[in-house]
Amino acid sequence: MFTQTNEGALKGKLIIDLSRVLGGPYCTQMLGDHGAEIIKLEPPRGDETRDWGPPFHDEDSAYFLGVNRNKRSMGLDLSKPEGQAVLLRLLEKADVLIENYKPGTMEKWGLGYEEVLKNKFPQLIHCRVSGFGSDGPWGGFPGYDAIIQAMAGWFSVNGEAGSKPTRLGLAMVDMGTGLYSAVAILMAMAEREKSKQGQYLDMTLYDCAVSLMHPHIPNYLYSGQIPVATGNAHPNISPYDTFRTKTVDIFIGAGNNRAYAKMCVELGREELIEDPRFLNNIDRVNNRDELKAEVESSLMKIDGSEIADRLAEAGLAAGPIHDTAQVVDHPHTRHREMIIEDGWYKMTGTPIKLSRTPGSVRHKPPKFGEHTRQILREFNFADLEIQDLLAADTVLETRQT
């Protein structure tokens, strides 16, 4: 994973990254892992997630370090006309601009896509990540992961049956929007190969969160029944739930009759295969509590790790419930190179495995403004220009407080 020689599938693509916090940085880190050159332009106070700790390494939070590798950092004050001029010079060579400012901010600075960037850089792909978009009843309103989770229905289907609405323990609205944004950017770059034209990508946390409400929205649209939290059980499949064993809890998923029958055989409960309460998935869903009681009556006599391994070897989807430490230490996590270490840098690896052009870590997460002078020189700024920009705090090498 750590290499300086792998070029990556996106080598030669330049992305100017104005995004902060999570969705945009997660998107650009994925693209950077696969060879794109990412220039992270941070506001004078820096990406605020640098302060989101503990824990920290060298004054930068683990939160920031987790989504900002394979980038170079430059401080830039875009509220100044001189800062806007610097951005325009960088965009002359850029393939993609990504930002997550409040809608209207870029336009206020004279950097709107339709008004300026589209005409000045006709091949530029401008990706905006916002909470709700710029129009509509909630257009322009601020949006954060938890607020969007709440509004898009995620709270209502998370938690144990009968529990109060509960936030997911992962920032999956932000990260899901980052994933969708990466897909959108790649689509736009593929289309540009034919049209030779860029375009504007309007990515919102709200849209992405609604699209991820599967199967709950389809279930509601076809049944008229409002979905509720069902704990670890799946609303459409049974068995698909947590089960107690003699030692540790495990999760078993059997999505069809063949898998269900195989589970019954492995548990020594062949009589459950022909039990009229559990013949087909619809029967098992309607009688899920009775099925769970029958399965657990057998599992409570067996070591959880042993039966999870045996079920998996038999071709069933099953596994023990791990905490974070167990995930990090699991031999399969290490085998898949999903934990990488190089000196002080310890992080998750890339899940995108390409055979000829695998991902790589070329740059550890940058300190604020670490590459300011280097980047400006690459874009043909003269030394005197650089000194003037630094003196005026238009570009920065250290964070303002």
- Quote the tokens at residue 315: 């071709």
174 flagged as catalytic:
yes
Cα 127–Cα 359–Cα 185 angle in degrees, nearest 5:
15
CB–CB of 284/291 below 8 Å?
yes
User: What is the Cα–Cα distance from 182 to 200, expressed in whole angstroms?
Assistant: 14
- End-to-end Cα distance, the chain: 36
Q: What is the dihedral of CA 229, 232, 234, 237, to 10 degrees?
A: -150
Secondary structure of the chain: what % helix, strand, coil (to 5)?
Answer: 40, 15, 45
The arrangement of strands across the sheet holding 250-253 comes to 240-243, 250-253, 317-320
Per the residue annotation, which of 17, 174, 249, 275 is the catalytic one? 174
State whether residue 282 is helix, strand or coil: helix
Residue 65 has φ and ψ, to the nearest 5°, of: -60, -25
Active site residues: 174
